Structure 1
Amino acid sequence: MEPAPITSIELLLDADAEAAVRAEWDALAAAGLSSMAPHTSPSNRPHVTLLARRGGVPHPLALPDDALPVPLVLGAPLLFGDGDRRVLVRSVVPSAALLALQAAVRDAAGAGDDVDHMAPGTWTPHVTLARRLRLADLERALPLVGGELACEGVALRRWDAGTRTVTAL
C-alpha cells in the first residue's frame, strides 16, 4: 500500500524577509548552483514548516488569536542529508515564541502520523534555499547566503502534497 501523502502547516515570512530569501535563491541560481528559484509554482514560497504528517490535518485549526505575528531570526546556513548532495537551509533560531507556536499548531492538529523529524525535541526550524546542492559547490554557495536577519512569521498555510494545493489558514 502506498503511504498517505504529506500534509504540512507552514509559517510564511514577512514581505521583506521573503524578498531577502528569494534574493538568495536567485543568487544561487545565477551562480549555476542548486536553488529553489527555478521552482516557479505559486506554492513555492519561503516558509518554516511547523508540522508535517502523513494524511490530513484538521481544518480549520483552532489557534490562539495572538499566535501571529511571531518574531523570527533567520540565522546561519545548515546542511541536511548525507552523500555528495545536501539540502542547504537558513537556520531559524528556535525562540520561545516559535516553539510555542509550533506546540499550538501540534495541539490544534491533534494526534496523527507525524513525520519523524517534526517531533518535539527533533524539529530543526529552517527555510530551504536549495535541494541537492553538491558538496563540491558549498564553497561557492555559502558567500551567497546572507547574515542574521530579524523578521516575523506573519501567516500560516496548509500544503497538501496529495492534491498539490495550498490553503491559507
Structure 2
Amino acid sequence: MVQSVELLLDDAADAEIRRQWELLAEAGVRSLAAQTAETNRPHITIAVARQIWPRIDHALDELTFRPVPLRLGGVLVFGARHPILVRAVVPTDQLLALHRRIFHTVAQCPGVSANLHPDAWTPHITLARRVPIPQLGTAVHAIARDRDFPATVVGIRRWDGDQRRAWPVAQHGGGQPAPHDRHGR
C-alpha cells in the first residue's frame, strides 16, 4: 500500500471540494463522494513512499507548521487510459517551501514517488479517479463553471494505507487552531 503525508484544508474549502464531489455524483460520474470511509477527506498529497519509517514520523512530528493560504484553481485531467479529474492548487512560494521541507524529510524512505520531487510536483486535490473517457466532458462541465477560490492549509496528517488510518503530524506554530482529524482522510 501507500504511505503519505497530506495537507488538510480549512472547513470552507473542505466543504467546497465535498460539494464538487457531490456535483460529479449528481452528474453520474463516480467521484470521491462514493467513498464513505471516515478517512475520506479532501487533501493535497505532499509526499508518498512505499514505507515511512518511525524515525521519519518522529521528524514529521517535530516540524513546526503555520497555516498556508493558497488558491484552488482550474480543473485538470491527469492520465489518458484511466483519467483522474483534479482541482489544481495554485503554487505559492510558501506552499513550495513547505513541500520541500516535507519532501526532504521523507526522501530517504523507500519508494518515494518521482512525481512528488521538488520541481516535479503538481499540487492538486483529487475529485474523481478512473473517469470513463466518454464521461470526461460531463465531469468537467459539472464543475468547470466554478471559479478559483481561496483556501488555507490548516494541518498536516500522515496516511497509512496498510492500516487505513490517518493522524495529525507537525507542531502547530500559530495562526488558526490545529484541526481535529475527526473527518479523516
Q: Tell me if TM exceeds 0.5.
A: yes
Does residue 1:16 correspond to 2:30, yes or no? no
Does residue 1:129 correspond to 2:90, yes or no? no
Secondary structure of the residue aligned to 2:36 is: coil
Does residue 1:51 correspond to 2:61, yes or no? no
Q: Which residue in the other structure is 1:30 paired with?
A: 26
Q: Which residue in the other structure is 2:173 paired with?
A: none
Gaps of 5+ in 1: none
Name the count of aligned residue pairs.
162
Tell me, yes or no, if the aligned pair for 2:2 and 2:50 is still in contact at 8 Å: yes
Deviations 1:15-68 (A, max 9, x none): 00000000000011111112000101111100000100111142231223xx32
Q: Hey, what's the Cα distance between the residues in 2 that align with 1:103 and 1:11?
A: 13
Q: Which residue in the other structure is 1:6 paired with?
A: 2
Does residue 1:42 correspond to 2:47, yes or no? no
CA RMSD of aligned residues (A): 1.3
- Give the helix-richer structure, 1 or 2: 2
- Give the strand-richer structure, 1 or 2: 1
Q: 2:7 corresponds to which letter in structure 1?
A: L
Q: Hey, what's the Cα distance between the residues in 1 that align with 2:44 and 2:107?
A: 20
Matches within 5 A, 1:47-126: 47-57=43-53, 58-60=56-58, 61=60, 62-64=62-64, 67-83=65-81, 85-109=82-106, 111-113=108-110, 114-126=112-124
Q: Hey, what's the Cα distance between the residues in 2 that align with 1:139 and 1:18?
A: 24
Q: Hey, what's the Cα distance between the residues in 2 that align with 1:110 and 1:26?
A: 35
TM-score (norm 1): 0.90
Q: Which residue in the other structure is 1:162 paired with?
A: 162
Q: 2:98 corresponds to which letter in structure 1?
A: L
Q: How much identity, in percent, do the aligned residues show?
A: 38
TM-superposed deviation, 1:117: 1.1
More displaced, 123-132 or 141-150? 141-150
Q: 1:136 corresponds to which letter in structure 2?
A: P
